[in-house]
Structure 1
Amino acid sequence: MKKLIQLFYTNLFLTGRLFTALSVCVLLFLLAFFFPWFALIPKLVFWLLMLLIIIDIIMLYRTPNAVFAKRHAPERLSNSDDNELGIYIENRYPLNIKAGIIDEIPHQFQRRDVLFETTLKTGEHKLINYNLRPVKRGEYEFGSIRVFIQSALGLVSRRFNFEQAETLPVYPSFLQMRKYELMAISNRLNEIGVKKVRRLGQSLEFEQIKPYVPGDDVRTVNWKATARHGSLMTNFYTDEKSQPVYCVIDKSRAMKMPFEGLSLLDYAINASLVLSNIALLKQDKAGLITLSEKIGAVIPADRKHSQIQKILEVLYKEKTRYLESNMEALYTTIRKVLTQRSLIVFFTNFESMNALQRQLPFLKRIARYHLLLVVFFENTELKQLTEAPATDVEGIYTKTIAEKFVYEKKLIVRELAQHGIQSILSTPQELNVNTINKYLELKARQRI
């Protein structure tokens, strides 16, 4: 009995309408103090209000399990994307109600506005959808669902608690990966900025000999097969396949810098996942190496269907380190693991020429045996400073320094090109498209 009384009080809340009605009662009693003939009306109003409160409480508490609510959430969330969640609510009262629903979302979102208000008729149910956008990988703990119910009187509110604590993992952006995958399958990558690159020359991978049809290149006629069959036969070539494509991700302190809530490491991880999936769709092999002061994960390149899931599970756990990258360890690992010429896409960041010069000797050694593509980031905030007008001496100084750093990024691209190293200088937001464009370009030019 004591527990029931405690539950009654802890789940009973007074509404703003009740406080307004009480304020009216107070004003009426004040008027009765100055006008004695008016004394009966405040008492009648007060006791009528008390009666309505009792009726309202009876209406809300007479039905056990009068409301049901449940959270609908995916098994995992996609980092940096809008993930759709839903709350199912069902009215089991014999009357129409007004509901206020609070979902206890993880603290990482720092949101206090996940409150949904709706009305439900008798026996009606609804599904309320909302979006969450995580900006960090890891585990996110959801709490209970709190539902506050009011009747048509709206004087008091009854709270229902639905314990639905669950932990959802936030993985690298698999939603972006699926979007690019669907567009690659339907040949619509150009709709999101991926360029169509004209193939130069002809692939050297022979597939079969087939009968000649008008329009075939006469240079592919196989004269020996023609003599045997008595009709023109041509060699049929297809795109080169099974080329190893390795994404190497730098996890050093240079990748800690944030842009729009995400670190450079998260941008690199999302781009690596998208590129690996596109490479597998193009029948190439995808592999992964992570690097900080020591070598992290190493996934040899493969074309198996489970390869992208293996890469996803590894990328989910990666975190930024606070030391500088060990390029010597990277070079040793590449020489040991990569047994044939491969495309190596190295996601890193250089903020100055000095940072490049420390790593350049090892980059040149890697480029001697493999096709190396260095991907680093354009500082968009510095670019905004260079475009903003300077109004005083301090502004001129700030703008000059910003222009110096922006120009130094371009010098880094030029320095890498002088040593025969491909590079991409990209804003974090355009990293996926720029990386795919470069991969398709290198493939079309038969560099891999």
Structure 2
Amino acid sequence: MKSIFNLYYKNLFLTSRLFTGLGCAVVLYLLSFFFPWLGDIPSLFFFTLVLLFVIDIWMLYRLPKGIFARRHAPERLSNGDDNEIGIYVENFYPFNISVGIIDEIPHQFQKRDVWFKTGLISRQHKLLNYQLRPTRRGEYEFGAIRVYVQSPIGLINRRYNIEQVETLPVYPSFLQMRKYELMAISNRLNEYGIKKIRRLGNSMEFEQIKNYVAGDDYRTLNWKASARRGDLMVNNYTDEKSQHVYCVIDKSRSMKMPFDGLSLLDYAINASLVLSSVALLKEDKAGLITISEKKGAIIPAERRPTQLNKIMEVLYKEKTRYLETNMELLYTTIRGTLKQRSLVVFFTNFESMSALQRQLPFLKRIAKFHLLVVVFFENTELKKLSEQPAENVEGIYIKTVAEKFAYEKKLIVKELARYGIQSILSTPQNLTVNTINRYLELKARQKI
């Protein structure tokens, strides 16, 4: 009895068309007092409306399951990217229907307007797509799918509750990683802003001896092989491979700052994942170190097929902490982990020269043994303030302070360069491109 009550009452919704009809019936009854010639027209109209109401209920409830719906979602979502979600819906009724669909998306998105309206003829099915952009890593729980069905009469809606509760993990931006992977494989990275670096000289890793063709460097002629073959032969060299590339990610409070929904830590994680992927494609070894006031994850540099998945699983769980980075611990960790000269890309953030001075002694020590690239962020909001015209005294003060902080960022770059430490000052949205640019440049110049 209770299930019947739930079926016919809790899932039945009256439409505006029914209320409009009832309002018209009330108006006709009122007019019949002043215009007796209306006679039984108000009653006839009302009972016709009641009859249509009963027929509408019978049409929608005569089938126990007149509609089918299912959510199509990937196994995991990509952080900071537009992820496509689909809702498949099929009509089992023998007549055309109008359908309204509510998908209960995770509470992290703070959206309650994921509503779709469509029409379906008998036995028709559709796939409705929409996109979600998560801005935090972790688990996202989807709820039920609510489908509201309306017959051609349109006096009521019947609701179907499709319980499809599922939890999807949000990983670092693997969609961005795949995009750059495809570009690297096809040597078209410059289409995404990656510079084409002019190669200076040849590496010393010998590959083969081949016949001379026009355009080959005559300095690579192999005279002994040419004498034996009676034809010009040249030595062919290839890029040095299996260099160690380590991404070191600062998890301290300086990386908590948000930009466009993502924290600086998330931007660093996404860039690290893409850089590791490109390095592996270039046949280098990729590794990872995370650090805050205590030692975080350490993945030694390898070139195994499972290395990228291992890095992704570690990055998935990383969170910012609320203390400053222990730079002495970072130095001892790098000295203990890195057994040969490596490229160390350190993702951190400096807002002032004093913040750099506290860490500079340890950065200089790391740079003695490895090729160190310090990556930190432009404060785009301060940059906007410094570019706005000042309209009053307060505006002049704000503009001056913003310009001071922006100038300090440039001074930090020069200060690092004084000690032979390379740096990248980048806006968060251009971080990945700028980091890959520097990696390819260093590789082309045979710095690693």
- Cα distance in 1 for partners of 2:213, 2:3 equals 87
Q: Could you say which residue in structure 2 is the equivalent of 1:80?
A: 80
1:229-288 CA-partner distances (Å, limit 9, x unpaired) = 555443221011111000000000000000000000000000001111111111111100
What TM-score, normalized to structure 1? 0.97
CA distance in 1, matches of 2:322, 2:39: 76
- Structure 2 counterparts to residues 294-305 of structure 1, below 5 A: 294-305=294-305
3-state secondary structure, aligned to 1:22: helix
Answer yes or no: is 1:257 the counterpart of 2:272. Answer: no
CA distance in 2 between counterparts of 1:78 and 1:424 reads 25
Task: Specify the code of the residue in structure 2 equivalent to 1:206.
Answer: F
Q: How far apart, CA to CA, are the structure 1 residues paired with 2:75 and 2:261?
A: 23
CA deviations over 1:367-390 (Å, ceiling 9, x no partner)? 000000000000110010011111
Kindly provide the amino acid, as one letter, of the partner of residue 158 in structure 1: R
2:126, 2:159 → 1: CA distance?
18
Secondary structure of the 2:195 match is coil
The aligned residue for residue 438 of structure 1 is: 438
Task: For 2:390, give the aligned amino acid.
Answer: A
Deviation of the 1:210 alpha carbon: 3.2
1:316 maps to 316
Partner of 2:345: 345
- Equivalent positions of 1:23-422 (< 5 A) are 23-38=23-38, 40-226=40-226, 231-422=231-422
Deviation track 1:341-390 (CA, whole Å, cap 9, x = no partner) reads 00000000000001100100000000000000000000110010011111
CA shift, 1:191, in A, is 1.3
C-alpha separation in 2, matches of 1:292 and 1:259: 21
What is the rounded CA distance, in whole Å, between the counterparts of 2:214 and 2:56 in structure 1?
86
CA distance in 1, matches of 2:39, 2:420: 97
Residue 447 of structure 2 is matched in structure 1 by 447
Q: 2: distance between equivalents of 1:367 and 1:248?
A: 14
Q: Distance in 2 between matches of 1:186 and 1:217?
A: 25
Q: Secondary structure at the match of 2:154?
A: coil
Spell out, residue by residue over 1:24-78, the C-alpha distance to the aligned partner (whole angstroms, 9 max, x if none).
2222222234344435322221111111100100000011211111011100000
Q: How far apart, in 1, do the equivalents of 2:148 and 2:76 lie? A: 28
Tell me how many residue pairs correspond in the alignment.
448
Q: Is the 8 A contact 1:29 1:39 kept in 2?
A: no
Query: Runs of 5+ in structure 1 lacking a partner?
Result: none
CA distance in 2: counterparts of 1:317 and 1:261, whole angstroms: 18
Match of 1:425 in 2: 425
Asked if structure 2 preserves the Cα contact closer than 8 Å seen for 1:242 and 1:284, the reply is: yes
Write the letter of the residue equivalent to 2:285.
Answer: K
CA shift, 1:204, in A, is 1.2
Provide the rounded CA distance (Å) in 1 between the counterparts of 2:6 and 2:70.
Answer: 25
Q: Is the 8 A contact 1:176 1:274 kept in 2?
A: yes
Q: 1:138 & 1:267 partners in 2: Cα distance?
A: 15
Shift of 1:215: 3.6
1:6 aligns with 6
Task: Report the Cα distance in structure 2 between the residues aligned to 1:147 and 1:267, rounded to whole angstroms.
Answer: 38
Report which stretch shifted further, 345-354 or 185-194: 185-194
1: distance between equivalents of 2:189 and 2:213? 31
Deviates more, 1:252-261 or 1:180-189: 180-189
Aligned sequence identity (%): 75
Q: Which moved more, 1:361-370 or 1:213-222?
A: 213-222
In the alignment, the residues of structure 2 paired with residue 330 and residue 266 of structure 1 have an alpha-carbon distance, to the nearest angstrom, of: 20
Partners of 2:16 and 2:389 lie apart in 1 by: 51
User: Letter of the aligned partner of 2:335 in structure 1?
Assistant: R
Return 129-138 or 215-224, whichever deviates more.
Answer: 215-224
How many Å separate the matches in 2 of 1:410 and 1:33? 86
Aligned-partner Cα distance in 1 for 2:428–2:257: 11
Whole-angstrom CA distance in 2 between matches of 1:4 and 1:180: 56
Gaps of 5+ in 2: none
Describe the SS at the equivalent of 1:376. Answer: strand
Assess if the C-alpha contact under 8 Å between 1:33 and 1:39 holds in 2: no
SS at match of 1:286: strand
